[in-house]
Protein backbone atom coordinates (compact mmCIF):
# COMPACT_ATOMS: atom_id res chain seq x y z
CA UNK A 1 0.00 0.00 0.00
CA UNK A 2 1.13 3.52 -0.76
CA UNK A 3 0.59 6.55 1.46
CA UNK A 4 -1.40 9.22 -0.34
CA UNK A 5 -2.57 12.71 0.53
CA UNK A 6 -6.08 13.79 -0.36
CA UNK A 7 -6.86 17.49 -0.36
CA UNK A 8 -10.13 19.27 0.10
CA UNK A 9 -11.73 22.52 1.16
CA UNK A 10 -15.12 24.03 1.80
CA UNK A 11 -16.43 27.51 2.51
CA UNK A 12 -18.89 28.15 5.30
CA UNK A 13 -21.73 30.63 4.94
CA UNK A 14 -21.47 31.74 8.58
CA UNK A 15 -19.27 31.22 11.61
CA UNK A 16 -21.49 28.92 13.63
CA UNK A 17 -21.01 25.54 15.23
CA UNK A 18 -23.87 24.01 13.23
CA UNK A 19 -22.50 25.34 9.92
CA UNK A 20 -18.99 24.10 10.74
CA UNK A 21 -20.24 20.60 11.53
CA UNK A 22 -22.51 20.49 8.45
CA UNK A 23 -19.93 21.78 5.96
CA UNK A 24 -16.96 19.77 7.25
CA UNK A 25 -19.01 16.57 7.60
CA UNK A 26 -20.10 16.94 3.98
CA UNK A 27 -16.54 17.60 2.83
CA UNK A 28 -14.97 14.68 4.69
CA UNK A 29 -17.72 12.29 3.59
CA UNK A 30 -17.26 13.27 -0.05
CA UNK A 31 -13.47 12.97 0.19
CA UNK A 32 -13.78 9.45 1.61
CA UNK A 33 -16.44 8.38 -0.88
CA UNK A 34 -14.74 9.84 -3.97
CA UNK A 35 -11.54 7.95 -3.18
CA UNK A 36 -13.01 4.73 -1.79
CA UNK A 37 -11.30 5.31 1.56
CA UNK A 38 -12.39 3.33 4.62
CA UNK A 39 -11.67 4.45 8.19
CA UNK A 40 -9.04 1.71 8.54
CA UNK A 41 -7.19 3.18 5.52
CA UNK A 42 -6.75 6.55 7.24
CA UNK A 43 -3.46 7.56 8.83
CA UNK A 44 -4.30 11.10 9.97
CA UNK A 45 -6.26 14.22 9.02
CA UNK A 46 -5.08 17.81 9.28
CA UNK A 47 -7.88 20.40 9.29
CA UNK A 48 -7.21 24.12 9.04
CA UNK A 49 -9.58 27.05 9.18
CA UNK A 50 -9.25 30.70 8.32
CA UNK A 51 -8.87 33.02 11.34
CA UNK A 52 -12.48 34.23 11.00
CA UNK A 53 -13.85 30.80 12.02
CA UNK A 54 -13.86 30.55 15.81
CA UNK A 55 -17.18 28.96 16.78
CA UNK A 56 -16.13 25.29 16.55
CA UNK A 57 -13.16 23.02 15.86
CA UNK A 58 -13.41 21.34 12.43
CA UNK A 59 -12.35 18.06 14.09
CA UNK A 60 -15.70 17.94 15.90
CA UNK A 61 -17.33 17.18 12.54
CA UNK A 62 -14.83 14.37 11.88
CA UNK A 63 -15.64 12.77 15.23
CA UNK A 64 -19.39 13.11 14.58
CA UNK A 65 -19.11 11.09 11.35
CA UNK A 66 -17.19 8.27 13.02
CA UNK A 67 -13.56 9.33 12.57
CA UNK A 68 -12.81 9.71 16.27
CA UNK A 69 -10.18 6.94 16.23
CA UNK A 70 -8.20 8.72 13.48
CA UNK A 71 -5.51 11.18 14.64
CA UNK A 72 -6.91 14.67 13.97
CA UNK A 73 -5.14 18.02 14.12
CA UNK A 74 -6.70 21.48 13.81
CA UNK A 75 -4.74 24.62 12.96
CA UNK A 76 -5.36 28.18 11.82
CA UNK A 77 -4.47 29.23 8.27
CA UNK A 78 -2.13 32.12 7.60
CA UNK A 79 -4.14 35.36 7.56
CA UNK A 80 -3.34 36.48 4.01
CA UNK A 81 -4.89 39.79 3.00
CA UNK A 82 -7.61 39.30 0.39
CA UNK A 83 -7.86 35.52 0.84
CA UNK A 84 -11.17 33.69 0.68
CA UNK A 85 -12.96 33.96 4.05
CA UNK A 86 -14.61 31.24 6.15
CA UNK A 87 -12.68 28.35 4.60
CA UNK A 88 -11.80 24.97 6.08
CA UNK A 89 -9.05 23.04 4.33
CA UNK A 90 -8.29 19.35 4.80
CA UNK A 91 -5.24 17.19 4.16
CA UNK A 92 -6.18 13.55 4.63
CA UNK A 93 -3.41 10.91 4.71
CA UNK A 94 -4.42 7.37 3.72
CA UNK A 95 -3.09 4.02 2.58
CA UNK A 96 -4.25 3.68 -1.04
CA UNK A 97 -3.17 1.63 -4.02
CA UNK A 98 -3.70 4.48 -6.50
CA UNK A 99 -1.47 6.58 -8.67
CA UNK A 100 -1.24 10.24 -7.71
CA UNK A 101 -3.18 11.19 -10.84
CA UNK A 102 -6.10 9.02 -9.69
CA UNK A 103 -6.58 10.78 -6.34
CA UNK A 104 -9.77 12.84 -6.31
CA UNK A 105 -9.39 16.11 -4.43
CA UNK A 106 -12.68 17.69 -3.33
CA UNK A 107 -13.45 21.40 -3.21
CA UNK A 108 -17.01 22.31 -2.22
CA UNK A 109 -19.18 25.38 -1.98
CA UNK A 110 -17.29 28.61 -2.54
CA UNK A 111 -13.93 26.88 -2.04
CA UNK A 112 -14.08 25.44 -5.56
CA UNK A 113 -12.44 28.69 -6.76
CA UNK A 114 -9.31 27.91 -4.74
CA UNK A 115 -8.12 25.12 -7.01
CA UNK A 116 -10.03 25.07 -10.27
CA UNK A 117 -7.36 22.70 -11.57
CA UNK A 118 -8.20 20.12 -8.89
CA UNK A 119 -11.86 20.72 -8.04
CA UNK A 120 -14.16 17.92 -9.09
Is residue 109 part of the annotated active site? The answer reads no
Q: Which of 30, 77, 98, 109 is catalytic?
A: 77
Residues 6+ apart with CB under 8 A from 78: none
Instruction: Kindly state the DSSP code that residue 52 receives in the 8-state scheme.
Output: T
Q: Are 81 and 54 in contact (CB under 8 A)?
A: no
Is residue 7 part of the annotated active site? The answer reads yes
Q: Which of 19, 63, 98, 109 is catalytic?
A: 63
Is residue 4 part of the annotated active site? The answer reads no
- What 3-state class would DSSP assign to 71? coil
Is residue 74 part of the annotated active site? The answer reads yes
Is residue 89 part of the annotated active site? The answer reads yes
Q: Which of 30, 74, 98, 109 is catalytic?
A: 74
Comparing CA positions, the residue from 10, 67, 61, 7 lying closest to residue 31 is 7
Q: Which of 13, 19, 56, 107 is catalytic?
A: 107
Q: Which of 7, 30, 98, 109 is catalytic?
A: 7
Max Cα-Cα span within the chain: 40
What is the set of active-site residues? Answer: 7, 63, 74, 77, 89, 107, 115
Amino acid sequence: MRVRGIRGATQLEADSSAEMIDAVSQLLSEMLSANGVKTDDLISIILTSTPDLTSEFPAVAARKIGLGSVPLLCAVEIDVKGSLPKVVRVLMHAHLDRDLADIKHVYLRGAAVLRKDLAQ
